[in-house]
Amino acid sequence: MAAADPGPPPDFELLAQSCITMAENFSRFRNLPAVDNGVAIMEAIQTLNNRMEQMQQQMQQMHQQTQQQLLGMEERLGMRISASNTNSLSRLQNSQLIAPDNALAPLYHHMTNTPIDDFPATPAGIANLSAASATALLTALGENVAGTLLAKRQRIRHAIGLKQAAV
């Protein structure tokens, strides 16, 4: 039986040239952006992540501030509505008074829904209000404060629900 033909021997010169070509190409890997600038790309990505985190924190802060502002507005609006309701009932009661010495139903501050300080006890008490007291009362009622003392007193009578000529 004859031995199988082993084929041609290795070409060492071709192997050496191939190794040189491979080494040259490996040395060119540093020219690739992913290898050369990989650190720079990662730093840029980290910078973007940091900025996004900062923006997210700012958005959360703005959201919290907006929520607090809305809650405050809701609370103030609730107080104003409550004061308006209370004052409407007081005005209705005051519109039924028949004598200057009848007790007035007190009105509440239009913004804080708290009793108005130094509110006149009777319709006759309106005539005794000083200019400063009349201005303070009109302010608490959310009314115009301009004009003479007589005009202010008339505006107060109207604002608290008194009829024009009755009391």
103-123 per-position pLDDT tens digit:
999 999 999 999 999 999 999
d(CA 97, CA 123): 9
Instruction: Tell me the mean pLDDT in the region 122-141.
Output: 96
pLDDT in tens, 60-90: 999 999 999 999 999 999 999 999 999 999 9
Residue 143 has what pLDDT?
96
Global pTM value:
0.62
